[in-house]
Structure formats: structure tokens, C-alpha cells
Structure 1
Amino acid sequence: MTAPVPAPALRMGTAAGRGTLLAAVLASGMVFLDTTVVNVALPKLGQDLGANVSDLQWTINGYLLMLAAFVLLGGALGDRFGRRRIFLIGVVWFTAASVLCGLAQGTGWLIAARFLQGAGGALLTPGSLSVLQASFHPDDRGRAIGAWAGLSGVSTALGPFIGGWLIDALSWRWIFFLNLPLAVLVVLAAMRWVPESRDESASRTEAPGRTRRRFDVGGALLGALALAGATYALIDAPTRGFDSAPVLIAALVGVVSAVAFVLLERRRGDAAMLPTGLFSSRLFSVLNLFTVVVYAALGGFTFFFAVYLQNVVEWSAFRTGIALLPMTLLLLIGSARAGALSARIGPRLPLTVGPVIAAVGLLLLRGVGPGASYWTDVLPGVLLFGIGLTLVVAPLTASVLAAVQDRFSGVASGFNNAASRAGSLLAVAALPLVVGLSGGGYEQKAELTDAFRGAMELCAGLLVAGAVLALVLVRRPPRDAPPSQPCHSLPAATPPAQRK
């Protein structure tokens, strides 16, 4: 048996501690930056590459699909083979895919590169936080993770400024090329200061034929096929027809894979990537359904809003990018306070009131049109949406973790992370179909206006449905959950938690 790797004990005031924190923050910043600005780049890259609506959907969803399907597997790989090793592989993979995105000469090339970027992100996202958790002394761990959350949030807030400026001044391609110098700094810092760590129980057995840790490639692949089948069917149905062979086959693959995933995870028990016993907690099940619904609204809103502001309201990419900045700032400033409030009064009220406030914000934004004023037409809706989202994110994360036993906290937060991304993924796939936007319709002002207004109504409806779900079914977890930073990424689906 391999000798256990001793647990490092970095301190915040040392060079190694600062260097490890720098590597984790910059790596997360790359992911968060791309999350916040790719939606803003859609109109320009669509025009440059001759993209249709389904191409724009796949540009977003190719990344989200891989991230949602493989983020749990990425965490497990780090536990088994070394957290620093997998983290570095993820950084290099993500960066190489980013360069391919920036060099894309057609939509097929770009979409394929986005799939690869999502796979790299699935290795990088859990690794950036797990290296802090595993490397720092227990007395400094909370400070390190808090600093990571705050500094990563700053990178998210800077994203609209930097990304919008790059798109207008240079090209949409530079939002991807920007990752290259950041990655060089991450790799140098990680190789110099980040200690290696792993969980030796990942390869240990408790009894013949039974492993202690989850390493479920089959479950990850079936989950990916389920999401991919559903996504393909929803995106291609408007152009191919609901009764076309490719759409029907994709839908069938999605359904069969979803059923097979459930059966496999149930048979594997605690060795599964997602132990089905977690869902014996009704609160855990309800909160993850709530997550899918609320983040579907968020993903649909951010997809439509950036395109609408540029193609109908005729704002620049930079102005569009900063339009959502107040929402990000509210999340940064208010999430800790919302978490503290939830710890005192329970999650039911914040998770009920928050979505309703956000829904009112979307209904206000529905009326934005050509010649709109940012201060009177856009800002009020964005502020209400941001306030509502702030009331939701931290209480939701804390409640999910409190709904399961401590030993399952990692897989619970990872699954909630994946659920948030899956909600955004399905919304971006389904909303254009439901509101009748296809082909080159996003470049036609009248068609896009009708689609945008219908999408805002549907997203508001999803938020209200989430509020009803929380009001009826959410109760205080069996034990108080401490206020926590969200495991989600900040907006544009944002949230991120980003989200681990």
C-alpha cells in the first residue's frame, strides 16, 4: 500500500500560504471570468461566425453540460490521484481549450472547444477549493476559504469591465486568450507553493470487493448522456422537427440514460458517485429541485438579456457587460448577511421571499426597449433581481449541507453545484424553443423582442414556482447550519458557484 501523504499545514502569513491562495484565486478567476462574459460576447461572435440560435445555445451549453456532468468525478479524481496534480491538469486543459475557442474559424470548431473547456473546468473547479481545504492548517482554513471567495468574487465583478472592453476594443476572441497569461501564473504558483495531498482511503478497501470512496466513471458517463440527449433534442427540435429521427433518438438516449443512471447509482450504494440514500432526506431532495428551478430562471435570463441589450437596445458589449454589475456586487456584499439571517430564522422565509423579489425584477426588465435609460429602465429591475438572488444563494447552500450527514457534505455540495448548472443548461436549451426563437431570429429586432418578453415571463414564473416550493416544503434543517459562502459561482450562471 502507498504510504499516506502527510496532511500539509500551511499558514496564511507565509509565502507558501499566500502562493497557494494566489493559485486557487487566479484559477477560479479564469472560470468565473469566462462565465460572466461569454453571454455578453454572443452577439459579436454570432455575427462573426455566422451562427444561428442553436449555435449560440450550444456555445453556452457545451460548457455547462461537461461541467455539470463531470464536476463530481473531477473532485473524486483529485482525492484519488492528488489534488494538486488534477488541479494543474485542469488548468492546462482549460487554458488549451480556451485558446482553441479564441482561434475558432467556425461554429462547429467553437462548440467543440467549449465542450473541451467544460471538461477542463470539471477538473479545475473542485480542485481550486479542495487544495485550500486540504493544504491549510485548520486554524487558518476558514480565513483562506473566505479570502478565496472574496477575491474570486472580485474577479467576477471585474469580468464585465474587462470582457466588455476586450470585445469592443479588440475582439470576442480575447475573452478566451486572456486565460493564457493567467494560467501561466497559476501553474508557476502551484508548482512552487501548492503542496500535494490526496485521500488515501480513495484506494483502500474496507472489506473484500467494497471500496470506501466513490469513483464512479459509469455514473458520470450516464449522467452526461442523459443531459446531452435532452439538450440536443430541445435545441434541434425547432429546425429538424419534433418527429425527426435525430431528435427522437436523442430524446430516447436521454431518457434511457437517466433511468440507467438511477439504477446504477442505487445498485452501487455508498460507492456511487451520487449515493441515492441522500434523497431519503426530503429536505435535500426539495432543495435540489428548488436549485434547478431557480437557476433555470437565472440561466435563461442571462442568455437572453445580453443578446437583447445589444441587438435590440443597441448597447455596446461593454455597456451590456456592466449592466448586470449591481447584481454581482449585491451578491458579494450581501451573501454573508443572508446566510447569517437564514441561520437565525431558518431558510424558509429567504427562499420564499427571494425568488418573488427576483421575479418582480424580471417583469420590470421585460419592458426595456430601444432608447432605454439604464438608470430608470434597467437598474431598478437588475437591483430587484440581485436582491432576490442574494436572499437565496447562501441560505440555499447552507441548507443543502445541513440536510445531510457531515460525511456526505462534499458530494452534497457537488451535486447541488451540478444541479444549478443543469438548471441553466436545460433553460438555455428549452426557452428559445418555447418562445419561438430559432435560426437567425436573434438578429431580427421584432422577433427577438417578442422572444425576450416571453422568456422573461417564463423565467419569472419559474421563480414564483420556486417560491411556492420553498413555502410549502422547506423547513429548518435538523441542525443549525453556519453561515457560509455560496458553493455556487457568481452570476451568469453566475451564480457559479461556479458553484464548488
Structure 2
Amino acid sequence: MTEDRRWAALIVLCTGMLMIVLDLTVVNVALPAIRDDLHFTEANLAWVVNAYLVAFGGLLLLAGRLGDLIGRRRVFLGGLVVFVAASLACGLATDQTVLVVARFVQGVGGAATSAVILGMIVTMFPDPREQARAIGAFAFVASAGGAVGLLAGGVLTRTINWHWIFFVNLPIGAITWLAATRLVERDRGAHRSPGTDAPGAVLVTAALMLGVYAIVGPAATKGWSAPSTLAFGGGALVLLAAFVGREMAAANPLVPLGMFRSRNVTGANLIQVAGAAGMFGIFFLGSLYLQGVLRYDALQIGLAFLPTTVLMGGLSVRFTEPLVGRFGARPVVVAGLVLITCGLVVFTRAPADGTYVEHVLPVVVLLGAGAGLCFPALMTLAMSGVQAADAGLASGLVNTTAQVGSALGLAVLSTLATSRTDALLAHGHSATAAAVAGYHLAFWVAAGLVLAAVAVAVFVLEQPGDAQSEDARPVAVEPSVEHVER
């Protein structure tokens, strides 16, 4: 593949990822309009988001492994078709059930599309410096797309209607599919025989779906000690334990457990869980603070988070890679996480009569700078020390931990904020004061989660001096395994 074609293919892959990431947040802004139009109750409305999250989070790991086995390009293109078709069904929905089912199918397509992208990138760019730049571009899209989704959702909902947050995926998806067929090279995958480990696939998919459901369903609505939460959560843990036992005994495991011997792979995924739980729940709760306390409309909320997107892009694409090359990935990850922690702590000082410049702008600047530094370096570490034949699995894993962390963070932080607010209302506090106090508690807990990620980065990740050790090398392409068709 020529250099120009590789970078053009990267743009195509990042466009596909942007479409998927946008869909994770663009719907949040349109939820009030969807509720009013389709007459959802508050309890049922959550499933417009949760149906997508259950399928998306549950299938990422399986989709990444399927990419290794049958070809990542094939899985990517198939996922795009499913995602675009489901987007059309969502946009045309005039019934609650149709919309929720279509959102579940959309999550299936989103998982297949996004799970293999990082694996495709690291095999296209074997040179360490080029790989770091390419991963930086991917990390910017994966991280900043959520903030862009808030803006896009506000614009489309306000200027047209909520149906267009789904219809806009049709031309983008079609163009991405056509470009990918021309620019992304075919790969046949490893075709390991007997190699599919169907029991392992069933166990891990069921465990992840059940776990995500427990987080976004009963835990978020009934509390963490509710019998249904404990039942579903316990069931997920039992299935996960059975999956680990299966992988230890299988001749051709779906997930080779040996990859977790790498401190960088293990540490990076632990950081993804804690960091995503702490940071990305804040986009949701921060939006509620801006809407419910400062009285911002949907478009103003999107514009308020715009500096986060700009800083993520500037740092991810231009500055993070040189910093990693000079200081190593570990210090850059730590610095980014510390900035995110500082931003969350600053948000705990936002009052009921706050102003954007004084109380919100410093937060979004710190979050954008921290994420722009942290996540590209973190993704590089998550893919380090992984064989080329397992790159799709590693890509699916890092996406899975980020998704599960985000769902976990949103459920935990929302529950804590709501409980604190309800307790203060019961003691006679005003609605605004009680809501602000609830948000402050959630922001403190989020800061604690990211601080825990800092501890993992310091004590688990490889030292900067070991950056070129076997664990820290970028993935190398092995033509004998990839079977690339020229």
C-alpha cells in the first residue's frame, strides 16, 4: 500500500469511527424531543440509549476477534451496512418499540464497525512514529467525538427535528463504505482451525451484555443493592468466570490470556475503565448542570463543550506523538490524567449562579488538554506487545473497557447525584441548591476515579526507559499471518 493510500484509508476509518462515536452522545441532546413525540415515559426513555449500549458493549470483544479470524475489512464493511440500515429504521420510527429495537441493531453494527478499526490502523502503520501519529488521529476522533455529538445533536434537533440525528448517518455511512472498498486493502484473517471457540464467544458476549444491562438498567434506576441488580450482576460475573475457565482449557481460545502478561496491555485497559468512568460521565452530568442550573439550550450546551474538542484535536494530532517520543508514553498518560482530575475538581466549585467563563471554561479546557495528551498515548500502550494476528482482539478489548467504563461511570455518578439531591430535597433545600450539591458529589467521585487511574499508570505501566522493550513495541505486521491480498 502506498503512503498516500494509507493515510487516505486512515481518514476513511476515522470517519467511520466518528459516525459511531457521535451516535453515542448525539441522542442524549434529542431525548426530550423524542420523549414528547413518541410519548415515552421517563423510565422507558432511558432504553433509547441503553438498548444501543447493551449491544455495543456486549459485542465489541467478539467483533474484534471475528476481525482477526475472517478479516477486519470484512467485519468493518458489514458493520457499516448494519449500522446505516438501523439508522434509517431509527429515523423512520413512529413507535417506541421500533425505535428501541432499531437502536439495539444499531449497537450491533456500531460494535462491528468500531471494534476492528484500531487493529487495522496498527497493521497499516508498522513504523513507530507513523503509528503514533495515526493512533493520535484515531484517539482524537474516539475521544472528541462525544463533545462533537452534543453540538451536532443540538443543531439538528433545534433546526430540523430529532429524526435527522439518525438520517445524517445515511450519506456519511454510504460514502465511508464506498471509500473503504477502494482504499482499505483486503485481509483474509488468520482462519485458525478449528479456531472460532463458539462456547467462549457465547459466554463472553452473554457476560458483557448482562453486565452492561445490570449497569445501565436496574443499577441506574433501582440502585446497586436492588435484587435485580445483584441478580444480573452476579450472573455476569458467573458467566465471565466460566469464560475465563473455558479460555484456559481451549486449544484455540477466543481470547489468548497470555496477552495480559504485558503490563502495558493490562494497565492501559484498567486505566480505560477508571478514566472513562470518571471523565465521560461528566459530559452527561455537565450537560444537565448547564441545562437545569444555568438554563442553556441544546445548541448552547454543544458550544460550551467545543473547546474540549478543539484541544483534544490539536494535542492528539500534532503534539502528543512528539511528547511520547521524547518522554515516553507513561509520563504523558500521567500528565493527561492529572489534568483531567484537576478539571473535575474545579467543576466541584461550580455554583448555582455560575458563569461560563469563570466556572465552566476552565473545566472544559483542562478536560480537553488532559484527554488530548492521555488517550492517544494510552491506546498506543494498549496495542503494544500484541501479535499482529491478535490486533483486532486488542482493538476490541480497548474499546470494550472504555465502553464498560463509560456505562459504569454514568450509572454510578448519576445514581450518586440523584441520591444526594433527593436527600437534600427531603431536608428542605431548594431544588436548584439540591441539584448542584448532587452534581458536586458526582464530580468529586469522578475525580477520585481518575486519580485511581493515575495510580495504575504510575505503578503498573512500564517505565519510560522501557518504552522500547518487548512489551512496549508497536504491533508489527506479519504478512504470513495477515494473508493480505495484493
Q: TM-score range by the shorter chain?
A: 0.7 to 0.9
Residue of structure 2 in register with 1:313 after alignment:
294
Cα pair distance change 1:283/1:154, threshold 3 Å = closer
Measure, in 2, the Cα distance between the counterparts of 1:241 and 1:465.
Answer: 23
Task: Answer yes or no: is 1:384 the counterpart of 2:373.
Answer: no
Aligned pairs for 1:330-479 (under 5 A) are 330-335=311-316, 336-369=318-351, 372-404=354-386, 408-436=390-418, 448-476=435-463, 478-479=466-467
* Equivalent in 236, 239, 262 of residue 218 of structure 2: 236
Shift of 1:79: 4.3
| Alpha-carbon shift at residue 460 of structure 1 (Å) | 0.9
Q: Equivalent pairs: percent with the same residue?
A: 33
- The answer to whether the 8 A contact 1:435-1:454 is kept is yes
Distance 1:54 1:83 in 2: 38
Q: Report SS of the residue matched to 2:4.
A: coil
Contact 2:139 2:375 (8 Å CA) reproduced: no
> Would the aligned equivalents of 1:22 and 1:186 in 2 still touch at CA under 8 Å?
no
Please name the residue that 2:478 is paired with: none
Q: Deviations over 1:96-128 (max 9, x none)?
A: 222233344465544433221111012212455
Of 50-59 and 388-397, deviating more is: 50-59
Q: Relative to 1, partners in 2 of residues 1:287 and 1:172: Cα closer, same or farther, differing over 3 Å?
A: same
Tell me how far 1:139 sits from its aligned partner. 13
Find the partner of 1:90 among 68, 76, 79.
79
Name 2:481's counterpart in structure 1.
Answer: none
Aligned to 1:182: 172
Match of 2:88 in 1: 99
Preserved contact between residue 132 and residue 321 of structure 2 (Cα < 8 Å): no
User: What letter corresponds to residue 79 of structure 2 in structure 1?
Assistant: G
Is the partner of 1:273 in helix, strand or coil? Answer: coil
Which one-letter code corresponds to 1:274 in the other structure?
A: V
Aligned to 1:28: 17
Give the 3 Å change call, closer, same or farther, for CA 143–397 of structure 1 in structure 2.
Answer: closer
The residue number in structure 1 matching 2:255 is: 274
In 2, distance between residues paired with 1:342 and 1:72? 28
Equivalent of 1:45, from 34, 37, 40?
A: 34
147-156 vs 371-380, greater mean Cα deviation = 147-156
User: Structure 1 residues 152, 294: CA separation in 2 closer, same or farther (over 3 Å shift)?
Assistant: closer
SS of the residue corresponding to residue 12 of structure 1 reads helix
5+ unaligned residues in a row in structure 1: which ranges? Answer: 1-8, 485-500
C-alpha spacing 1:365/1:107, structure 2 compared with 1 (3 Å): farther
Q: Does 1:169 align with 2:152?
A: no
Which letter maps to 2:309?
Answer: T
- 1:132-151 to 2 correspondences below 5 Å: 145=134, 149=138
C-alpha displacement of 1:393:
1.0
- Is the contact between residue 385 and residue 473 of structure 2 (CA under 8 Å) also seen in structure 1? no
Cα distance change, pair 390–137 in 1 and its aligned pair in 2 (3 A): closer
Normalised TM-score (structure 2): 0.80
Instruction: State the 1:194 CA deviation.
Output: 5.2
Report the counterpart of residue 62 of structure 1 in structure 2: 51
C-alpha distance in structure 2 between counterparts of 1:375 and 1:294, whole Å: 26
Question: CA-to-partner distance for each residue in 1:299-335, whole Å, 9 max, x for gaps?
Answer: 2112212233223322111111122221122121112
What CA distance in whole angstroms lies between the structure 1 residues aligned with 2:142 and 2:403? 18
Within the candidate set 262, 265, 270, 2:247 is matched to: 265
Change in Cα spacing, 1:120 to 1:49, as seen in structure 2 (3 Å) is same
C-alpha spacing 1:70/1:359, structure 2 compared with 1 (3 Å): same
**2:250 is paired with a residue of what secondary structure?**
helix
Partner Cα separation in structure 2 for residue 190 and residue 398 of structure 1:
23
- Contact kept? 2:88, 2:170, Cα under 8 Å: yes
- Cα shift at 1:379: 0.7
Q: In structure 2, what is the Cα distance between the partners aligned to 1:389 and 1:403?
A: 23
> Would you say the 8 A contact 1:43–1:310 is kept in 2?
no
Higher helix share: 2
Q: CA deviation at 1:380?
A: 0.7
Rounded to whole Å, the distance in 2 between the matches of 1:49 and 1:81 is 40
Partners of 2:402 and 2:203 lie apart in 1 by: 18
Summarize the Cα distance change of 1:32–1:221 in structure 2 as closer, same or farther, 3 Å threshold: same
**In 1: Cα distance, 2:225 partner to 2:144 partner:** 45
Paired amino acid for 2:371? L
Contact 2:118 2:395 in 1 (8 A): no
* C-alpha distance in structure 2 between counterparts of 1:401 and 1:411, whole Å: 10
Q: Using the TM superposition, give the Cα deviation of residue 412 of structure 1 relative to its aligned residue in structure 2, in angstroms.
A: 2.8
8 Å CA contact retained: 1:74, 1:123: yes
Distance in 2 (CA, whole Å) between partners of 1:227 and 1:445 is 37
- RMSD (Å) for aligned C-alpha atoms: 3.9
Q: What amino acid does structure 2 have at the position aligned with 1:294? A: G
Counting only pairs closer than 5 Å after superposition, residues 192-271 of structure 1 correspond to structure 2 as: 195-199=185-189, 201-203=190-192, 205=193, 211=195, 215-234=196-215, 235-237=217-219, 239=221, 246-268=228-250, 271=252
Q: Which moved more, 1:49-58 or 1:59-68?
A: 49-58
Kept in 2, the 8 Å contact 1:354–1:391? The answer is yes
User: 1:437 Cα deviation (Å)?
Assistant: 5.3
For residue 275 of structure 2, what is the amino acid of its counterpart? V
